Amino acid sequence: DAGVIQSPRHEVTEMGQEVTLRCKPISGHDYLFWYRQTMMRGLELLIYFNNNVPIDDSGMPEDRFSAKMPNASFSTLKIQPSEPRDSAVYFCASSSSGSGNEQFFGPGTRLTVL
């Protein structure tokens, strides 16, 4: 089993550029979560999907952030335009239905905005 796959692993970009982060959940999982990790705020939920439908996006910082899940095997998180304060590690996690089921995390994308 490949686990949750994220790409790219590292991204360095300049302020104002568009950034797209990608996630492939574990096959058969119907929940997908995007979290962000920073030194100041720790790990925070950005948005999560169930069966490709966004359930809660209250953690998305502002309109510059958007997330989509066009099918069960792919999700994107887009930042446009990017700002230095967006620098963080972005994690994708997936799980299957069932209230006690584990969330499996990908390796993360380390984003640096100069």
Partner 1 sequence: AQSVTQLDSQVPVFEEAPVELRCNYSSSVSVYLFWYVQYPNQGLQLLLKYLSGSTLVESINGFEAEFNKSQTSFHLRKPSVHISDTAEYFCAVRRNSGNTPLVFGKGTRLSVIA
Contact flag: residue 112 with partner 1 (CB under 8 A): no
Backbone angle region of 23, left / alpha / beta, with phi > 0 → left and psi within -120 to 50 → alpha: beta
Contact between 54 and partner 1 by CB under 8 A: the answer reads: no
Token couple for 97:
């239905």
What's the token pair of residue 45?
A: 């939920």
Give the chain's largest Cα–Cα span: 41
Binding partner 1 (rule: CB under 8 A), the pick from 12, 61, 97, 114 is: 97
Q: Which is nearer to partner 1, 82 or 94 (CB)?
A: 94
Contact stretch for partner 1 (CB under 8 A) within 17-25, 28-36, 63-71, 72-80: 28-36
DSSP 25: P
Our CB check for partner 1 shows the closer of 45 and 81 to be 45
How many angstroms separate the CA atoms of 88 and 103, rounded? 20
Q: Return residues touching partner 1 (CB under 8 A).
A: 4, 31, 33, 35, 42-45, 48, 50, 56, 91, 93, 95, 97-108
